[in-house]
A and B are shown apart, each in its own frame.
Chain A
Amino acid sequence: MNKTVKYVLYDIFRSRILIAYACLLFLISFSLMSFEENPSKGLMSLLNITLIVVPLISIIFGTIHFYNSNEFIELLLSQPFSRSSIFFSQYMSVSASLSCAFIIGMGIPIIIFSPGTIGTTLIITGLLLTMVFVSLAFLSSVFVRDKAMGIGFALLLWFLFSLIYDGLILMLIVSLSDYPIEKLTLILASFNPIDLGRIFVMLQMDVSAMMGYTGAVYKDFFGSSTGMIYTFLIMFLWILWPLLLANHRFNQKDL
């Protein structure tokens, strides 16, 4: 299994899209961090990129890669490997290479300009989101046979997590504003990896608006070590369940 990872990585690392992605991230991060006199404001802008661009690229790249590798995967399947090992090695290759691109593109500028807890948290969150969205990408490409439909479905997933879900939450909070729903929103955050990552990073950033009453509820929870463990646990679940479900389907599937 690990032997194919090496060669798939060879392949992806030379992919123009991946190189472009790393360069783009690097340019944005570098210019944002060097342009802003205040590093925390630069990090705040990078948080927006991490929450919107990273999931989008991860899920699209993951989906396209999977469809393009269809025949190669067939060839690998005719070799003496179990299907799961082929599937997971594909996942590892894609998420490892996207993670590398993220570290080079955003991690290095952050480490140069603003090393510390906040930067590290941002990098970790970016990496976790990369892995989650590659996992979702594989889910969509295994379940949807047609490439165009699969990419469409992946986009829909991204749209759901980055916009629609939050829109619904906004409506929910506004319509339930008479009730104390802070605790409820803690639970709701767990159902969206992007929200979870966003709150996790923001609490590290000491955003002053987060220090009000509502913020205190989040701070109490996510700021504690229990909250930290919970966040990581939920993130790992978000990596695992789509991946395991996809693997299960991949094992049943005709190629």
Chain B
Amino acid sequence: MIKIEQLNKHFKRLDVLCDISVFLSKGQVISLIGPNASGKTTLIKCLLGIVKQDSGIIYFNEKNIKGDWSYRHHIGYMPQIERYPDNIQIGQLINMMKDIRNNVNTLPDEELIEKFELNKIFISKTRSLSGGTRQKVSAALAFLFSPEVLILDEPTAGLDPLSIEILREKILKEKEKNKLIIITSHILSDIDGLASHIMYLQNGQLIFFKDINAIKQEVGEDRLSKAIVEIMKQKKSLYKRKNEK
């Protein structure tokens, strides 16, 4: 589905992504994790073409995405957004999305709009929204067109537990439909039971990309979050030792 080959990106002197190669396929729910400033958001933005890589190629359905924008028809993106245009209403924002991505074949998927009860606040302006509501809107927009690929950047930040649960269920539902879902998150418990794969980035390097069951066996931990913390510790010490040498 998505193939990344030797992706490199640096901002000024800082290497944000080093030589990342990976293949992501349908049906996977990938949890993209790593410490702060490890390059998660940059990687996502590279996939979306918002950030342009220095070198390396990204294939989407075996087509190079460079200079192409039509592949984004198949992607739903939920950004970490702090500001929508000040004076636009939520209803208008959703209508705009429907307008600009009008897909004649499929009806828009308004499940999240209903479950988050966004219709009740259709006429309120985005300026007055709380962080949590803004997240709900972003999520609803990402899922609106039942895209084949979903990219969710910190989806649970600012959401209340009830809403997190709604979102989880929605993600699981989409997973069943054999879609590729990429989630970045700091909060490991969120992804418990969701992710099928873990992709771990640190200092711009892909440390590992593994099946979740494999990880659990390897570390001998049943709970995912603990397993991952365990791995993080190992890698950190490894990384330190490497540097000391």
Q: Which of B81-89, B107-115, B209-217 contacts A (4 or more CB under 8 A)?
A: B81-89
Instruction: List the A residue with the shortest CB-CB distance to B52.
Output: A254
B51: chain A residues at CB < 8 Å are 254-255
| CB of B146 within 8 Å of the partner chain | no
In the complex, the answer to whether A80 meets B87 with C-beta atoms within 8 Å is: no
| CB of A4 within 8 Å of the partner chain | yes
| CB of B3 within 8 Å of the partner chain | no
Which of A10, A71, A254 sits near B92, CB closer than 8 Å?
Answer: A10
Bound form: Cα–Cα A8–B92 in Å? 10
Instruction: List the A residue with the shortest CB-CB distance to B44.
Output: A78
| CB of A225 within 8 Å of the partner chain | no
Which of B77, B84, B88 sits near A78, CB closer than 8 Å?
Answer: B77
| CB of A82 within 8 Å of the partner chain | yes
Q: Closest CB of chain A to B181's CB: distance in Å?
A: 15
In the complex, the answer to whether B88 meets A10 with C-beta atoms within 8 Å is: yes
| CB of A214 within 8 Å of the partner chain | no
A12: chain B residues at CB < 8 Å are 87
In the complex, the answer to whether A80 meets B70 with C-beta atoms within 8 Å is: yes
Interface size, chain B (Cβ < 8 Å): 34
| CB of B173 within 8 Å of the partner chain | no
B50: chain A residues at CB < 8 Å are 74, 77-78, 254-255
In the complex, the answer to whether B69 meets A7 with C-beta atoms within 8 Å is: no
Instruction: List the B residue with the shortest CB-CB distance to A254.
Output: B51
In the complex, the answer to whether B83 meets A80 with C-beta atoms within 8 Å is: no
B95: chain A residues at CB < 8 Å are 7
Given A15-B87, A81-B69, also A4-B75 (CB < 8 A) = no
| CB of B1 within 8 Å of the partner chain | no
Q: How many A-B residue pairs have CB under 8 A?
A: 85
Bound form: Cα–Cα A154–B169 in Å? 48
In the complex, the answer to whether B77 meets A11 with C-beta atoms within 8 Å is: no
B96: chain A residues at CB < 8 Å are 3-4, 6-7
Which of A8, A15, A79, A82 sits near B101, CB closer than 8 Å?
Answer: A79
| CB of A68 within 8 Å of the partner chain | yes
Which of B45, B77, B81, B87 sits near A14, CB closer than 8 Å?
Answer: B87
Contact digits for B56-93, partner A, Cβ 8 Å, 1 yes 0 no: 00000000000001111101010101111111100011
In the complex, the answer to whether B73 meets A80 with C-beta atoms within 8 Å is: yes
Instruction: List the B residue with the shortest CB-CB distance to A4.
Output: B100
Most A-side CB within 10 Å, residue of B69, B70, B77, B92: B69
Bound form: Cα–Cα A10–B85 in Å? 10
Bound form: Cα–Cα A13–B87 in Å? 8
Bound form: Cα–Cα A74–B100 in Å? 15
| CB of A75 within 8 Å of the partner chain | yes
Given A77-B50, A78-B50, A255-B51, also A68-B73 (CB < 8 A) = no
Given A80-B73, A254-B52, also A71-B83 (CB < 8 A) = yes
Instruction: List the A residue with the shortest CB-CB distance to B100.
Output: A3
Q: Closest CB of chain A to B15's CB: distance in Å?
A: 14
B69: chain A residues at CB < 8 Å are 80-83
In the complex, the answer to whether A80 meets B72 with C-beta atoms within 8 Å is: yes
Contact digits for A1-34, partner B, Cβ 8 Å, 1 yes 0 no: 0011011101111110000000000000000000
A255: chain B residues at CB < 8 Å are 45, 50-51
In the complex, the answer to whether B86 meets A15 with C-beta atoms within 8 Å is: yes
Bound form: Cα–Cα A144–B85 in Å? 21
Bound form: Cα–Cα A13–B92 in Å? 14
| CB of A143 within 8 Å of the partner chain | no
| CB of A69 within 8 Å of the partner chain | yes
Contact digits for A56-96, partner B, Cβ 8 Å, 1 yes 0 no: 00000000000011111011011111110000000000000
B141: chain A residues at CB < 8 Å are 75
| CB of A175 within 8 Å of the partner chain | no
Which of A4, A13, A72, A252 sits near B84, CB closer than 8 Å?
Answer: A72
In the complex, the answer to whether B101 meets A80 with C-beta atoms within 8 Å is: yes
In the complex, the answer to whether B88 meets A75 with C-beta atoms within 8 Å is: no
| CB of B27 within 8 Å of the partner chain | no
- Taking beta carbons and an 8 Å cutoff, which residues of B are in contact with A? 11, 45, 48-52, 69-73, 75, 77, 79, 81-88, 92-93, 95-97, 99-101, 125, 141, 151
Can you sample 21 A-B contacts with CB below 8 Å? A3-B99, A7-B95, A7-B99, A15-B86, A68-B83, A68-B86, A70-B83, A72-B81, A72-B85, A75-B77, A77-B50, A78-B48, A78-B77, A78-B79, A79-B72, A79-B100, A80-B71, A80-B73, A82-B69, A83-B69, A255-B45
- Taking beta carbons and an 8 Å cutoff, which residues of A are in contact with B? 3-4, 6-8, 10-15, 68-72, 74-75, 77-83, 252-255
